[in-house]
Structure 1
Amino acid sequence: MATIEGRNPVIEAIKNDREIDKIMIANSAKEGSIKKIIGMAKEKNIVIQYVDKHKLDEVSTSHSHQGVIAQVSEYKYWELDELIESVKAKNEDPFFIILDEITDPHNLGSIIRTADAVGAHGVIIPKRRSVHITPVVAKASAGAVEYVPVCKVTNIVNTIKKLKDEGLWIAAADMDGQTFYEQNLTGALGLVIGSEGFGISRLVKQNCDFTVKMPMIGNVTSLNASVAAGILLYEIFKQRTGNK
């Protein structure tokens, strides 16, 4: 059994009809959004258990439960073919984010949150050497994990090749490329973001179609992975929506 922690993530899980076994709420938490959670849970006949805050502290892995933890079914990852077919059904240009060995759960959660904001069709992560969907990731995503499909694949290079066969152009975020706002980022696109410490691996980079960089004039020559992703995703969003 998995858990979802924090008020917004739990609200989004209830809204999205996630299979919830029960919701544990701290006895001392009865105000504001907790009242909303209680009301929503009662409407959907979800079991509510009032517990001491120390009990939530023991169960919590995010250490930021805000007085509420939901026990839920394990997260269901999407298959790559499912992801591709879901976009075809919408008759839209695919827009995927491919993460190469992101290991920080806060970065993954933040990227999923931004992916939802810009209308990306899915996030692709490797099965190995990568953080997966955890309560910390769900909390950092502010509930966006309930709306953005996440696909877990065995091999990122093979995945990129399959996406290229499906007509996508694959862009790598790296310091060797063209300035990102000078590059055409419209159409069917996959954006690869590298790990926090090592960037994009050599083989993955070799299989990308082109590289985009973010110019920097400060003393620190790199950005946090989720910050870099946010900047690039909003440029893609701007271009895809006609520079509005």
Structure 2
Amino acid sequence: METTQVYGVKPLLEALKADQNIEKIYVQKNTQGEGIKEIISLSQTKNIQVSYVPIEKLNKLSKNENHQGVFARLSPIGYISIEELLEAILKEKENPFFLILDELTDVRNVGAIIRTAESTGVDGIIMLKHGGASINEQTVKTSTGAIFNIPICKIDHIKDALFYMDSYNIQTLAASEKTDKLIYEIDLKQPTALIMGSEGKGVSKSALKMAKVKAKLPMLGETSSLNVSVACGVILYEMVRQRLI
């Protein structure tokens, strides 16, 4: 578990609506706006303590990030085990879609990926306990609160997740440039776990070796690669496109 903080109107509203265990909310004195009013109203309904403070206090708490006049301290985010995730989702869906993040280190990239994953109906995200980005206030902010609406697992090794996926007959797909196959050639209607690699190295060698399928995005310009959160978004929306047909 990791302690975290939330700032910004929309992320905090999402946290409140998702019944996250918020310890305290700080609101800038004399701040107006419908979002702020809704935060205060929900806080009163849920008996969450609200302190009205000067902007200097919020700047300090958020380390001068764009807090939009609100800041909250949350109790640690809880993680579901991969066994619980698979058993729960497979009871509900025949063709689930999971996302495995292999040693991603940039918290903003992780937050952006979580936001897109939740928006595209991904059923769960699997991350490393150690060796990757932590879940902190920047992750929450970048996800715009989507992190509270999608199950997240923490595992010791990526290979553990891949073993589980194989045991449940879930296709493991590595996003990698080390293949001739394009993502558009892959059947994403079936149960699938997409592996996205780190910003610098891509998917690790061990995960590439274990993945049942590898695919890449076509690159038509001089640029040789995309930001990992952008690439992940493109692939996830190809999954959506296939499943909407």
- When normalised by structure 2's length, the TM-score is 0.95
> Shift of residue 39 of structure 1?
1.5
Kept in 1: contact 2:173–2:192 (CA 8 A): yes
Instruction: State the match for 1:239 in structure 2.
Output: 242
Q: Distance in 1 between matches of 2:106 and 2:170?
A: 27
Distance 2:63 2:239 in 1: 34
Return the offset for 1:61.
Answer: 4.7
**Equivalent position SS for 1:74:** strand
Q: Which residue of 2 aligns with 1:60?
A: 62
What residue is the counterpart of 1:101 in the other structure?
103
SS in 1 for 2:89: helix
Shift of 1:64: 2.2
Give the Å deviation of 1:92. Answer: 3.2
Where structure 2 has 5 or more consecutive residues not aligned to the other structure, the ranges are: none
Residues 101-141 of structure 1 deviation map (CA, whole Å, 9 limit, x = unaligned): 11111110111111111110111111121112111000000
Check whether the contact 1:94–1:188 (CA below 8 A) recurs between aligned residues.
yes
Q: What does 1:14-163 correspond to in 2, within 5 Å?
A: 14-61=16-63, 63-163=65-165
User: The residue matched to 1:192 in structure 2 has which SS?
Assistant: strand
Report the 3-state secondary structure (helix = DSSP H, G, I; strand = E; otherwise coil) of the residue aligned with 1:176.
Answer: coil
Q: Does structure 1 retain, via aligned residues, the 8 Å contact 2:4–2:135? A: no
The corresponding residue for 1:195 is: 198
Q: Distance in 2 between matches of 1:91 and 1:137?
A: 28
Per-residue CA deviations over 1:73-107 (Å, capped at 9, x if unaligned) read 11111111111012023133221000111111111
8 Å CA contact retained: 1:97, 1:120: yes
Structure 2 SS opposite 1:175: coil
Measure, in 1, the Cα distance between the counterparts of 2:166 and 2:31. 50
The CA distance in 2 between the partners of 1:194 and 1:236, in whole Å, is 18
2:188 aligned with 1:212: no
**Residue type matched to 2:192 in 1?**
L
Query: How far 1:238 sits from its partner (Å)?
Result: 1.5
**Counterpart in the other structure of 1:13:** 15
Secondary structure of residue in 2 paired with 1:151? strand
Contact 2:155/2:161, CA 8 A, preserved across alignment: yes
CA contact 1:61–1:135 (8 Å) conserved in 2: no
1:187–1:240 contact (8 Å) kept in structure 2: no
RMSD of aligned alpha carbons: 1.3
Report the counterpart of residue 184 of structure 1 in structure 2: 187
What is the percentage of aligned positions where both structures have the same residue?
Answer: 37
Show the counterpart of 1:226: 229
